[in-house]
Amino acid sequence: MCDDAVKEEVLAVLRSMYPNTTIPEPDAFYFPRWRSDPLYRGSYSNWPSSFLKAHHTNLRATVNGRLWFGGEATSLKYFGTSGVVRS
């Protein structure tokens, strides 16, 4: 998909998720093309054994109630390591 199509799909999903909220057009939109970057080799989160569940909760917390972080690193169930998140 071209960048404009990705942007429109993202906005459509957000607008369907929040039908009573005005979702404005972004000031800027950047969609990285990792596959075409010769320096990108892939990555995933790898928590050290000292990583506590509270740390993970902090990672997933919103910032000022307006900014959310996403990706496998924020998932308690599907984070990208075989290690254990301790409580």
Does the pLDDT at position 51 exceed 70?
yes
**For the chain, what's the residue count?**
87
* Residue 84, pLDDT score: 40
Give the confidence band of 56 by pLDDT, cuts at 50, 70, 90: confident
pTM: 0.47
The answer to whether 74 and 59 are in contact (CB under 8 A) is: yes
Token pair recorded at residue 23: 């979702």
Is the Cα dihedral 22, 25, 28, 34 positive or negative?
positive
pLDDT tens digits, 1-49: 888 999 999 999 999 999 999 999 999 888 777 777 787 766 667 777 7
* Residue 82, pLDDT score: 38
Is the Cα dihedral 63, 65, 70, 72 positive or negative?
positive
The answer to whether 53 and 61 are in contact (CB under 8 A) is: no
